[in-house]
């Protein structure tokens, strides 16, 4: 299948990413013909990691030879949307009614058509992305965050068809996990000002993400769970999102997430997600890190275009609720792994090229994406050009430690390097 055929079959011309090779462009373009879940199984199936992994390999410095090695070894069955699944466009959905059909997998092609049309006619793609994310924010964790992760990779490439694919994926996976989100500080700015004027002692002192979890751990036995919570880690994480007590304990008044402090909160939350992965390496905690990276990427794109970021505040609130639920499900340890000065110094001597080279030797999609994610977070959240007061002032080697941990689990960490033991 060549790109010309894709252009003829789609409602929008595929736009090649100029910084990616012809092979990478062709492979991600072709993937538009396939269902975003393997075998076309929308619920309970495994995500089609193929296009995300191809772009991640490119981001790790992969050559066409590396890409070909991966594609030749790709063992999974991707289902073709039309030929295998017979999904047709009945022209039921339009720009006014698409939200009424969220969560219905039979409308995959219609979601893509509507979204691609909107992306092509908005002044900037990010405006519609923000609008669509706002409509679907309560389904953020569905599919273990793969729709939003796929969206980030699509935006990195730049083709609007890929962006529409990712949003359509989010559309068919949608399920409201949260209901009306409850916080411990649900006052308007006016109400808050009046309250503080009447009682200055009630003014809240801001705390960090890690301090929220310290309080969560200390009071874990008093958490009130109203639902019937059982099953595997992924399912429990989804169920906990809707628990009002967990929502309130995660979104304390002292841990307000606002447009003004969003960058700082993103850093704190990403570090918490990475620490949780290092404490309990698992599929859910790994995706906690890759999902956080995707949200940072999408949020920064909106910030860079000076767009309204209220929807991204809402997304980060929901992500933090999910991550805090996962923290509880994993045992809510008193103290997550952190690096001492010597470990920080030792890790600074290790370059990302070495770790990237090691990751490109495997065909394990989660490992490739995890190393890419950690490298991306390390580079983006440690930038010296971040606004004053928004950067932590020093490189955070925790992301490098997480990448090395992932490589070590697959016995790919180059000798004489060793994973950090906590």
Q: Which of 295, 292, 289, 324 lies closest to 309 in space, CA to CA?
A: 295
The pLDDT value given to residue 421? 84
Of 286, 413, 397, the residue nearest 358 (C-alpha): 413
Straight-line distance from the first to the last Cα atom of the chain, in angstroms, rounded to the nearest whole number? 49
Neighbours of 253 (CB within 10 A): 18
Query: Is the separation of the CB atoms in 185 and 253 below 8 Å?
Result: yes
Q: pLDDT digit string (tens) for 202-246?
A: 445 899 999 999 999 999 999 999 878 888 999 999 999 999 999
- Contact 371/407 with Cβ under 8 angstroms? yes
Q: Does residue 360 contact residue 62 with C-beta atoms inside 8 Å?
A: yes
Q: At 179, is the secondary structure helix, strand, or coil?
A: coil
* Residue 71 burial class via C-beta count within 10 angstroms: exposed 0-12, middle 13-18, buried 19 and up: middle
**What is the model's pLDDT at position 183?**
86
Give the pLDDT score at 257. 97
Q: Write the secondary structure of 77-94 as one string of H (helix), E (strand) and C (coil).
A: CCCECCCCCCCCCCCCCC
Tokens of 372: 């890419």
Which stretches of the chain drop beneath a pLDDT of 50?
1-11, 186-196, 198-203, 384-385, 387-393
Query: Given this model, what pLDDT does residue 392 score?
Result: 45
- Residue 381's H or E segment, with its range, is helix 365-381
At 389 the pLDDT is 36
Alpha carbons 174 and 162: distance in angstroms, whole number: 18
Q: What is the pLDDT of residue 7?
A: 39
Given this model, what pLDDT does residue 70 score?
96
Chain mean position to CA 109: 23
């Amino acid at each position: 299948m060549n790109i010309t055929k894709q252009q003829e079959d789609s409602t929008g011309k595929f736009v090649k990413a100029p910084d990616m090779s012809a092979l990478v462009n062709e492979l991600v373009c072709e993937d538009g013909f396939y269902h975003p879940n393997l075998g076309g199984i929308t619920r309970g199936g495994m995500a089609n990691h193929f296009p995300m992994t191809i772009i991640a390999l490119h981001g790790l410095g992969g050559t066409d030879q590396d890409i070909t090695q991966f594609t030749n070894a790709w063992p999974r069955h991707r289902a073709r949307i039309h030929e295998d699944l017979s999904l047709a466009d009945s022209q039921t959905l339009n720009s006014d009614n698409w939200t009424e059909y969220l969560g219905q997998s039979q409308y995959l092609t219609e979601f893509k058509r509507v979204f691609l049309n909107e992306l092509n006619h908005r002044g900037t793609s990010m405006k519609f992305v923000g609008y669509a994310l706002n409509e679907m924010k309560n389904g953020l964790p569905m599919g273990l965050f793969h729709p939003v992760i796929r969206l980030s990779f699509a935006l990195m490439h730049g083709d609007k068809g890929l962006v529409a694919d990712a949003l359509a994926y989010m559309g068919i996976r949608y399920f409201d996990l949260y209901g009306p989100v409850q916080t411990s500080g649900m006052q308007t700015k006016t109400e808050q000002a009046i309250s503080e004027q009447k009682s200055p002692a009630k003014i809240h002192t801001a705390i960090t993400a890690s301090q929220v979890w310290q309080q969560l751990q200390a009071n874990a036995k008093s958490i009130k769970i109203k639902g019937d919570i059982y099953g595997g880690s992924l399912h429990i994480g989804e169920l906990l999102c809707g628990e009002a007590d967990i929502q309130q304990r995660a979104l304390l008044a002292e841990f307000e997430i606002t447009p003004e402090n969003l960058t700082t909160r993103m850093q704190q939350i990403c570090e918490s997600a990475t620490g949780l992965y290092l404490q309990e390496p698992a599929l859910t905690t790994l995706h906690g890190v890759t999902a956080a990276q995707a949200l940072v990427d999408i949020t920064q794109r909106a910030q860079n275009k000076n767009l309204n970021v209220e929807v991204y505040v809402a997304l980060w609130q929901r992500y933090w609720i999910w991550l805090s639920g996962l923290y509880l499900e994993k045992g809510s340890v008193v103290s997550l792994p952190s690096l001492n000065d010597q470990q920080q110094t030792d890790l600074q001597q290790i370059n990302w090229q070495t770790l990237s080279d090691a990751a490109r030797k495997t065909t394990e999609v989660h490992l490739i994406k995890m190393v890419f994610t950690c490298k991306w977070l390390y580079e983006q959240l440690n930038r010296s050009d971040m606004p004053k007061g928004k950067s932590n002032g020093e490189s955070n080697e925790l992301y490098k430690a997480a990448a090395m941990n992932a490589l070590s689990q697959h016995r790919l960490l180059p000798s004489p390097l060793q994973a950090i033991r906590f």
